[in-house]
Amino acid sequence: MTTWIFAEERDGTLNPGSLELATKARSFGSVSAFLIGTGEQASITALGEHGVTTVYCLDTGDALPSAAAAASLAELVSADDAGIVLFGPGNTDRDVAGRLATRLGRPVVSNALDVAVDGAITVRSEILGGTISITTELTAPAPAIVVTRPKAFAASGMGGGEPELVPVAVPDTGRSGSAMITERHVEATEGPALESAPVVVSGGRGLGSADKFAMLDELAGLLGAAVGGTRAVVDAGWVPYSYQVGQTGKTVKPSVYIACGISGAMQHVVGMKGSSTIIAINKDPDAPIFSIADLGVVGDVHTVVPQLIEALKARG
Amino acid sequence: MNIAVCVKQIPDPATPYTLDDENHWVIRPDDQVLDDTDRYGVEIGLQLAEASQGTVTLFSMSPSGSLQGIRQALAMGADKAVIVDDPALKGSDALTTAGILAAAMQRDGFDLVISGTESTDGYSGVMPQMMSEILDVPCLSFARRVEAGNGSVTIERQTSTGYEVVTAPLPALLSVTAGVVEPRYPTFKGIMQSKSKPIETLTASDLGITPDAGQRIAAVEPVPAREAGEIVEDEGEAFEKIIAMLEQVKVI
């Protein structure tokens, strides 16, 4: 059984999540990758190093790639008798997975935290803010189409050699494929990336207003931390979407997560409950965040955070 | 512009849902509410319809019970609603749902379909893309800004590193992120008018669809909860506890 993984280059760089998928996929047998992008040498080599033996590369130029990718992938996985097609949680992953499933008439299992092949293919996921674990068995014919959660698997190289590179011709998808990308923008962020930072300082509604994030920026600077936020503060426009931690945002697993003025809504907790140590500051003693915090401070963030900043500065 | 907006009624997120013992499906209370994230799609739909003397039709697959969530969206200003309500659709997966909604939209015709990126209760996150494939339209996904006119639609599409500007001719489908616009609150007049707005109810067989899940939930078990640690009341020195913990885990 071949397992297929979805990979994407953005600005010529391979999405790191594809290497996590490759690492998991090789435990099932041989792995082929379907890569959207120009097929840079570094991407191909990295996929090979993680166990991929064949890379099919589709470059749709300025066309939004999902319709063409799904059409090509549907043909390739059908011809290859693929057992599983694994996607990451990215936006393009989801665009292609949804269209592929429709073309093949197969269900999609989303939010996968693990996949097992033991006769049947089963997928584990969690609901209700990660309090209930669900195991779903795929009863439809192969391939199983699975969309994983961020960081469901850890990437590790296996010293695999250079994979075979197969360019894929862009199929004509007519009206479905008529969306064009006219501009690309990278939004620069300062400091460490939220997903990989060792410490995350996050803010919620309890901060009261957008300008209070300056305080969190200062605290983060002193700790070498990244700054995150809840969906509520992103929806309110206090910080950009790239800050969002939770179900519909990023999943973080830092050594320390400092939740400032965050109540701990389920959809937020899903994105940070894997943190090694959780420190929460909230004035509401009944806030759900305290039930998962290693240290909970019932107090005003506007008092405690400035004190913390001064104390850290005093240490030099 | 003839605009179709997908909306979903969900159990109130403030009161966690439960699963039935036999099939492990979500037990849906009678008093479901409008998925909060759908308000953004409704708002975008209303703005585009207002600019083009168009109409907004809500499409929803919703089991029986009150339609208060649908009424909420009608009270915001949508013109009418089409509901697919069929016991055979209980426990439907995303592909079945996409097939049902797309069939209802094809029956009625549309220029633009608008949906959220994922529901708050099911969050499979692939339904809009499935509808696009069935409807054979471009899928302008994860829009954080939308403009439409002159037979085309242009969005800013959220990416992992920033955003890209994507444009496509109509008909097309948009999935919009929360925060794309500020949703309006229903006015008193809107609430009164919503009570007399047309809601058409269809079954799966009206649309010629037979549901088939292709998956089953094999096991449900609780996840061991993370244990709460120390809770301290701040009396001016709680920050020292934080410093001590940061030292303990060697962050400072």
Residues A203-244: tens digit of each pLDDT: 999 999 999 999 999 999 999 999 999 999 998 889 988 899
If you measure CA to CA, which chain A residue comes closest to B127? A98
Of A10, A67, A298, the CB nearest to B231: A298
Q: What is the pLDDT of residue A294?
A: 96
Q: What is the pLDDT of residue B213?
A: 66
- Residue A17 DSSP SS3: helix
Kindly report the average pLDDT of chain A as a whole number: 94
Nearest chain B Cα distance for residue A159, angstroms: 28
Residues A37 and A126 in one domain: yes
Structural domain for B30, as ranges: 2-207
Of B164, B179, B239, the CB nearest to A311: B239
Residues A8 and A106 in one domain: yes
Contact of B138 with chain A, judged by CB distance below 8 Å, is answered with: yes
For A14-29, what is each residue's pLDDT tens digit? 999 999 999 999 999 9
Residue B242 lies in a domain: no
Contact between A282 and A262 (Cβ < 8 Å):
yes
Q: What is the pLDDT of residue B16?
A: 67
CA-to-CA distance for B155 and B163, rounded, in angstroms?
10
Q: Which of A182, A184, A178, A181 is nearest to A68 (CA)?
A: A178
- Residue A128 DSSP SS3: coil
Residues A261 and A310 in one domain: yes
pTM of the model: 0.89
- CATH number of the domain within which A153 lies: 3.40.50.620
Q: What is the pLDDT of residue A99?
A: 98
Residue A194 lies in a domain: no
Residue B252 lies in a domain: no
Residue B137 lies in a domain: yes
Contact between A84 and A4 (Cβ < 8 Å):
yes
Residues 6+ apart with CB under 8 A from B203: B84, B85, B86, B88
Of A66, A111, A223, the CB nearest to B129: A66
- β-pair partners for A226: A200
Residues A224 and A158 in one domain: no
Structure tokens at A265: 């809504």
Decide: residue B40, CB within 10 A, 0-12 exposed, 13-18 middle, 19+ buried. Answer: buried
Residues 6+ apart with CB under 8 A from A28: A1, A3, A83, A84, A117
Structural domain for A78, as ranges: 3-177
If you measure CA to CA, which chain A residue comes closest to B119? A248
- CATH number of the domain within which A270 lies: 3.40.50.1220
Mutation choice for B interface testing from A73, A85, A91 by most B CBs within 10 A = A91
Helix axis angle, B127-135 relative to B94-108, nearest 10°?
40
Residue A182 lies in a domain: no
Residues A117 and A171 in one domain: yes
Structure tokens at A256: 């320390």
If you measure CA to CA, which chain A residue comes closest to B24? A134
Structure tokens at B43: 């708002």
Compute how many other C-beta atoms are within 10 angstroms of the C-beta atom of residue B87.
9
Structure tokens at B57: 């039709």
Q: Final residue of a domain: which of A124, A145, A177?
A: A177
ipTM of the prediction: 0.91
Q: C-alpha angle with apex A198: A195 to A203, nearest 5 degrees?
A: 70
- Residue A270 DSSP SS3: coil
Q: What is the pLDDT of residue B122?
A: 81
Contact between A249 and A149 (Cβ < 8 Å):
no
Residues A267 and A158 in one domain: no
Contact between A24 and A47 (Cβ < 8 Å):
no
Nearest chain A Cα distance for residue B53, angstroms: 25
For A106-117, what is each residue's pLDDT tens digit? 999 999 999 999
Q: Give the C-alpha distances (Å, rounded to integers) separating B118 from A47, A63, A249, B35.
A: 30, 24, 12, 10
Structure tokens at A263: 């109540």
- CATH number of the domain within which B136 lies: 3.40.50.620
Contact between A169 and A221 (Cβ < 8 Å):
no
Residue B215 lies in a domain: no
- Residue B168 DSSP SS3: strand
Contact of B90 with chain A, judged by CB distance below 8 Å, is answered with: no
Residue B220 lies in a domain: no
- Residue B153 DSSP SS3: strand
For A126-158, what is each residue's pLDDT tens digit? 887 778 899 999 999 999 999 999 889 999 999
Q: Is pLDDT above 70 for B8?
A: yes
Q: Is pLDDT above 80 for B14?
A: no
Decide: residue A28, CB within 10 A, 0-12 exposed, 13-18 middle, 19+ buried. Answer: middle
User: How many domains is chain A partitioned into structurally?
Assistant: 2
Q: Final residue of a domain: which of A111, A146, A177?
A: A177
Contact assignment for B234 to A136 by CB distance below 8 Å = no
| pLDDT band at A48; cut points 50, 70, 90 | very high
Residue B241 lies in a domain: no
| pLDDT band at B64; cut points 50, 70, 90 | low
Residue A183 lies in a domain: no
Contact between B179 and B40 (Cβ < 8 Å):
yes
CA-to-CA distance for A167 and A43, rounded, in angstroms?
14
Residue B91 lies in a domain: yes
For B115-164, what is each residue's pLDDT tens digit? 999 888 888 999 999 999 999 999 999 999 999 988 999 999 988 888 99
- β-pair partners for A132: A127, B222
Residue A145 lies in a domain: yes
Residues A12 and A160 in one domain: yes
Residues 161-200 of B with CB under 8 A from A: 161-169, 171-172, 177-179
Residues A220 and A110 in one domain: no
Contact assignment for A132 to B118 by CB distance below 8 Å = no
User: pLDDT > 90: what percent of chain B?
Assistant: 67
More confident residue, B19 or A78: A78
User: How many domains is chain B partitioned into structurally?
Assistant: 1
Residue A154 lies in a domain: yes
More confident residue, B62 or A306: A306
Compute how many other C-beta atoms are within 10 angstroms of the C-beta atom of residue A110.
27
